[in-house]
Structure 1
Amino acid sequence: MNPPYVNTSPASSDAPKPMDMPRVVRTGRIMLFVLGGIQAVVGLLLVTAATLGVGEGTGSLLPDYPEGAYVRGVLPLVLGSAALAVGARFRSGGRGVRIGAMAIAVLILLRGAIEVAVDQTLPLGSLIFGLPLLIYSTKKEAVAWFARPRA
């Protein structure tokens, strides 16, 4: 039986060919790109709004103190940048990329839990992306993909 990371064919040479990226790994990569893009845009908008002082006061997305507004914008910006960087490394990366994806998923889930604790209205997005990403990163197909030998 062939190992899960090679695809040999009797018509080809004896050299093993790398397998295609498994579906769960591709789905996790797409989720990282979507999440990273959304987080980066939201982070940029919040940092810009905090810089311009837009929306300060009651009932706004920004807190009344500017440092909190910057933190509220910088955290999604950093998380989005990390998600884009990890997603870009899925094709050639090793175990560290899979662990990075799992860490990002855990941070997203923690952020969602904190939003629920402070009674925010949109923690559902954190669960929609964080939980499947964590599950996909721990599946045996993903483990085999990231543990495969590289040329």
Structure 2
Amino acid sequence: MPRRVKRTRQALSILGGSQLLVGLLLVVGNRVDSVPIDVSSIEPFSMGGQFTAGAMGLTAVVFAAKFGTGRAGVRWGAMILAGLVIATGIFGHTGGRVFNLFALALGLHILVNCARQQTASWFARPRP
């Protein structure tokens, strides 16, 4: 596996793990009723937002696991997922959330490395 493909796989794993963790923390944070917190800061994170963070995280982890044996569909799926992460990172950052800069940087890294010719040729390699 080429070096850039390995780095992309690592970035997908980090992105997936952090998205799953954020989704879990949002679910737990919204369920705790006894702790007085500012509800206006949690308002945008509805159940749909929590589900989306968890689903994107799980998808990133699955794509990272399939990078070693996958074909071009895994590469295209990772590029589409990176595009969604970039879009949510841009729109979330305009709302003032700093964590989205981390997701935005990882999404850009994944998209650029998946779009490279070296990565495309690795996914199109002949297999036994």
TM-score of the superposed pair, with normalisation by structure 2: 0.89
How far is 1:113 from its partner? 1.2
What letter corresponds to residue 38 of structure 1 in structure 2? S
Residues 137, 32 of structure 1: CA spacing in aligned structure 2 closer, same or farther, 3 A cutoff? same
Q: Which residue of 1 aligns with 2:86?
A: 109
**Structure 2 counterparts to residues 2-151 of structure 1, below 5 A:** 21-53=1-33, 55=37, 57-58=39-40, 60=41, 62-63=42-43, 68-151=45-128
Residues in 2 aligned to 1:96 and 1:25: alpha-carbon distance in whole angstroms: 15
Residues in 1 aligned to 2:25 and 2:100: alpha-carbon distance in whole angstroms: 18
How many residue pairs get matched? 126
Is contact 1:43-1:76 (8 Å) kept?
yes
Let me know the Cα RMSD of the aligned residues: 1.7
Higher RCO structure, 1 or 2 (CA under 8 Å, sep 6+): 2
Taking only the aligned residue pairs, the percentage that are identical comes to 34
Q: Per-residue displacement from partner, 1:106-139 (whole Å, max 9, x unpaired)?
A: 0110001111333333331122201111000011
Is contact 2:93-2:101 (8 Å) kept?
no
TM-score of the superposed pair, with normalisation by structure 1: 0.76
Unaligned runs of 5+ in 2: none
Moved more, 48-57 or 121-130: 48-57
Is contact 1:46-1:69 (8 Å) kept?
no
What letter corresponds to residue 94 of structure 1 in structure 2? R
Q: Larger C-alpha radius of gyration, 1 or 2? A: 1
